[in-house]
Amino acid sequence: MQVAKKSHLGKRARYYHSQMDMELLLTGEDYRELPAAYVIFICDFDPFGQKKYRYTFQNICTETGLSIADGSTTIFLSTCGNNTAEVPEKLVKFLEFVRAGEADSTRDYQDSFIRKIQKSMEDIRSSREMEEKFMLLEELLKDERAEGRVEGRAEGKALGKAESILLLLQDSGMIPDELRSKILEEQDTDILSKYLKLAARAESVAEFMKEMDKI
């Protein structure tokens, strides 16, 4: 899910594909047994400016248009499309639901899949155990939509900030255990606030680690 427009989405997709393939190969699979792999981005913006609800990418030959048939597909779904006639009605309804504000997210979209999501949302909101995590995620998404950055849910809670930092970094790549431990063990909320802003700006975990050494 991408709610703030970030650069290098193509390279982000490439990274996700490589991670999936590596995990499969590490289990002992032969590369010839690799299954079809799909990376799907749900974007609350138009990633390519063509006003499409769906952009599908596969590896093809530039000269002939032939597919290399490696089984990899990257799909970008956009809530800002206007080509309703070119995509399934169910997809349009789903993307309208994704784009909806809090009030409209509870209306009846006349779709069984969306009803299941709404029911899950109700269950999460009613669960005391999940309430804090849900509120944190809701706050992150709200701030990203408004400013393209996240400042954290609770200024006085180091653990909450640390979790927010890790949540942001997960979208940029694999987080080394050493870095994860350093963030979780940091108790200075001023430093964590700086880390949080840095995590919202960084294009990769490597960039975050390089810049955090300067703090």
**Cβ–Cβ < 8 Å for 114, 94:** yes
pLDDT at 152: 37
Would the pTM of this model clear 0.75, i.e. be above it? Answer: no
> Which range has the top average pLDDT, 32-36, 81-85, 118-122, 210-214?
81-85
The runs of H, that is alpha helices, within the chain are: 9-26, 89-99, 112-126, 128-147, 158-169, 177-185, 189-201, 205-212
Q: Is pLDDT of 149 > 70? A: no
The two three-digit tokens of residue 25, written as one number:
């190969």
Q: How confident is the model at residue 121 (pLDDT cuts 50, 70, 90)?
A: confident
Instruction: Specify the 3-state DSSP secondary structure of 135.
Output: helix
Q: Is pLDDT of 146 > 70? A: no
- Of 210, 155, 211, 203, the closest CA to residue 15 belongs to 203
Q: What is the share, in percent, of the chain residues with pLDDT greater than 70?
A: 84
Q: How confident is the model at residue 12 (pLDDT cuts 50, 70, 90)?
A: confident
Q: What is the pLDDT of residues 151-192, one digit of tens each?
A: 434 444 566 778 888 878 887 788 998 998 899 888 888 888
Q: How confident is the model at residue 130 (pLDDT cuts 50, 70, 90)?
A: low
